[in-house]
Chains A and B, each alone.
Chain A
Amino acid sequence: MKKLVLFIPLVLFLGMGVFLYQGLFLNPQELDSALEGKPVPAFQLERLETPGEMLTQEDLKGDVSLINVWATWCPACKYEHPFLMMLARKNILPIYGVNYRDERAPAIRELSREGDPYTINIFDKDGRLGLDLGVYGAPESFIVDHNGIIRFRYAGPIDRNVWSETLFPMIQQLQAEAKQDGV
């Protein structure tokens, strides 16, 4: 029994070793979103294409949807854009754009040149909605269920891998949930 006591430091050392070793494989960029499980924050902002036309969180409700935060100053958004266009053509779910801390004219120009994958585009000039969404860069995307609850947040450009491994399975599941609820 007394000899066992002497092994306590070794056991503690091994325990801490395992704990710290796991830490080596965590990605510090993947912050868990504080908003998962919460409704889309309330906002009242203009539609990007038409100044004066106000949109609120109610306009985004109804379907399982993807909210995509983008800007013309964001290179990773340009990288992501063709994939969003492909998604829009497949008509899987509405994609709502949040034009984040941007200027209206270049944003509209960019969409008319590269194509517009967005069902609705919200003009978040001051980044207020972005702040309420806990956005810290662009692009960021949120999967929202049919009740308007944020279910998943993804920071970074969506590409084929992210889509097929993470986002699409979750969207299919949420769409099944929506069907069960009779939406």
Chain B
Amino acid sequence: MKTFKILVGFMASLVLAFNVMATPVDTYEFKSTDNQKRALSLAHELRCPQCQNQNLIDSNSPVAQDLRLEVYTMVDDGKTNAEIVDFMTSRYGDFVLYKPRLDPKTYILWLGPFVLMLIALYVALVVVRKQRGKSTAAPEMTDADRNELEALLKSKQSQDNK
């Protein structure tokens, strides 16, 4: 019983620890929890321009802090997600988007995999069809074949019996 309690305590502290890890360190007070949710998910989708491979939440660099705060205040000011993303890209370029926009420059990113898959399907189809054309079923035996086979078997048997 005691070990069970210890185990539960340990699990609880683990859960708590992960919760703490998931929240950013800023002490910004949002007007509503909806705003907070929206701001945090936006900041997750925006890349820190300095540290390259972290989003605004994960990064501790000064510029990420600034941008994070900017996102928070813009959300609280009632700006839409599109407006905030525009604000960021007009300053830092498309680089800050972890999820690239669909425009002529990024068609290959968005559509490339599907095109490749279609080509692969087409090639597979062609190969399968070709295989099917060359029928792999055994050729039909004619009566003459059958007679010949029987004769051969018989001669073999008689040889074995000798």
For A5, the chain B residues whose CB sits under 8 A away are 123, 126
Given A8-B119, A136-B49, A136-B63, A31 contacting B126 (CB threshold 8 A): no
Q: Does A33 contact B (CB under 8 A)?
A: yes
Which residues of chain A from 122 to 142 have a CB within 8 Å of any chain B CB?
127, 131-137
Query: A127 CA to B64 CA in the complex, in Å?
Result: 12
Interface string of A35-46 (1 = CB under 8 A from B): 100000000000
Greatest chain A CB density within 10 A among B91, B92, B120, B127 is at B91
Which residues of chain B from 57 to 87 have a CB within 8 Å of any chain A CB?
61-63, 66-67, 70
For B116, the chain A residues whose CB sits under 8 A away are 12
> Looking at the complex, which one of A12, A32, A127, A134 makes contact with B91 (CB distance below 8 Å)?
A134
| B50 near A132: Cβ-Cβ < 8 Å | no
Query: A101 CA to B61 CA in the complex, in Å?
Result: 13
- The size of the chain A interface, using a CB distance under 8 A, is 22
| B95 near A31: Cβ-Cβ < 8 Å | yes
Q: Does B99 contact A (CB under 8 A)?
A: no
Q: Does A9 contact B (CB under 8 A)?
A: yes
> Looking at the complex, which one of B66, B95, B127 makes contact with A131 (CB distance below 8 Å)?
B66
Q: Does A2 contact B (CB under 8 A)?
A: yes
Query: A2 CA to B134 CA in the complex, in Å?
Result: 14
| A131 near B91: Cβ-Cβ < 8 Å | yes
Given A8-B123, A136-B50, A31 contacting B66 (CB threshold 8 A): no
